[in-house]
Structure 1
Amino acid sequence: MGERFKIVLLGGSGVGKSAITLMFLQGTFLSEYDPTLEETFRKTMTIENKSCLLDILDTAGQESYTTMESRYIQNGDGFLIVYSVTSEATFQKVSKIYDLVLRVKDMDSFPTVILGNKSDLAKERKVTVNQGIELSTQHSVPFFETSALQNKNITESFSF
């Protein structure tokens, strides 16, 4: 077995972290919202022709669990920070979460991808693609618009 990486999904409540995780792992869409406390999953995948074992931590998004984020961050090797394109409030949290990652890791940058999820909900969109691109450029990290429902950019998001 090749390298092992702990990937942590962070973001506000209801942005689709669990749906993204289940689509990536099982190819199935989670249609009912059931707030997650914390779940860890494992998947082997090939990245740059090397077999890698990913430990994927799906975290809680509720405000009451934000103190746990530091522990999640401490142990993470890479992060997917997720917001919903249907919620300006979850988009606003992305920079705060990324700043927390850098503070906990005590680094100027760290392997992170920003995901604008629920891109299939075009009529409910509140955050534009350009806003997502600008934010990722500001933080010098990759950006993907994703749809867990349509399996859009899900695997690509985990291949950073």
Structure 2
Amino acid sequence: MPRNHKRSSANGHVNATTKKSKDKPTYKIIVLGSGGVGKSAVTIQFVKSFFFSDYDPTIEDSYVKQCLIDNQIAQLEILDSAGQEEFKPMRDQYVRVGEGFLLVFSLTDRRSLDECYKLHRDILRLKDTNNVPMLLIGNKLDICQMGMDAHARAAAASMCIPYFETSARTRHNIDEIFIELVRLIRRNKCQYQTNNNISSSKKKKKQENNTKCCICTIL
């Protein structure tokens, strides 16, 4: 049976950690990809430093972990999503609320890379913007026997997103992908705020000019 658990925090102090971190910046990260590519293994390795080797199809697993990234506290809310097609409506809902996305495929399965193309298109469509923090993740580097590096890099280039290769078993690049995604989310938020400030400033200036134009002198 597929899992439908909600797990939190690697340190075991879920409630205390959550209460203390209400005022900390929170980053909603969604892990997406075909079934069997190692989404759960990657997530659990990051959160709990444990390699989860058994394949147990996931419906929804959620985790919370606090990290210090670039000298700033970050609370990561990570959702490990279902890879099966029948759960696509749920996946679309996750995309709508997510701030950053890991598109995971297996380096041993070319078809799982093709699925990431579809996921990328769906995310851009649902977000209605081309500026969405995303990483393409080639997992199972430790057992890779296929020359997929060129295909994967070409895919990442066509999607205009960074590419990382990982191994949930050896923990290779596991921390790095979550850290890099948080950095992308931060930059995206900063750019959004800057654009809003510029827009507000222009609107205020326009209103001031309109007010000046409406002043009449009666002789």
Partner of 2:67: 45
Looking at structure 2, the residues matched to 31 and 74 of structure 1 have their Cα atoms a distance apart, in angstroms, of 30
- Which secondary structure state, in structure 2, belongs to the residue aligned with residue 30 of structure 1? coil
- Which secondary structure state, in structure 2, belongs to the residue aligned with residue 93 of structure 1? helix
- The normalised TM-score by structure 1 is 0.95
Check the 8 A contact 2:110/2:148 in 1, yes or no.
no
- The structure number with the bigger radius of gyration is 2
Partner of 2:171: 151
Q: CA deviation at 1:82?
A: 0.3
- Which secondary structure state, in structure 2, belongs to the residue aligned with residue 158 of structure 1? helix
2:76 is the alignment partner of 1:54? yes
Amino acid at match of 2:121: D
- Which secondary structure state, in structure 2, belongs to the residue aligned with residue 39 of structure 1? strand
- Give the structure with the larger strand fraction: 1
Sequence identity of aligned pairs in percent? 37
Looking at structure 2, the residues matched to 49 and 134 of structure 1 have their Cα atoms a distance apart, in angstroms, of 33
- Which secondary structure state, in structure 2, belongs to the residue aligned with residue 74 of structure 1? helix
2:102 is the alignment partner of 1:80? yes
Q: CA deviation at 1:9?
A: 0.2
Of the candidates 144, 150, 155, which is equivalent to residue 135 of structure 1?
Answer: 155
5+ residue gaps in structure 2? Answer: 1-20, 181-219
With CA pairs under 8 Å and 6+ residues apart, which has the higher RCO, 1 or 2?
1
Across the aligned residues of Structure 1 and Structure 2, the Cα RMSD in angstroms comes to 1.1
5+ residue gaps in structure 1? Answer: none
- Which secondary structure state, in structure 2, belongs to the residue aligned with residue 159 of structure 1? helix
2:164 is the alignment partner of 1:104? no
Name segments (4+ residues, structure 1) moved above 2 Å: none
2:29 is the alignment partner of 1:12? no
Looking at structure 2, the residues matched to 45 and 98 of structure 1 have their Cα atoms a distance apart, in angstroms, of 27
Q: CA deviation at 1:41?
A: 0.2
- Which secondary structure state, in structure 1, belongs to the residue aligned with residue 164 of structure 2? strand
Check the 8 A contact 2:140/2:168 in 1, yes or no.
yes
Q: Deviations over 1:97-135 (max 9, x none)?
A: 011001110001200011000011133x3x511221111
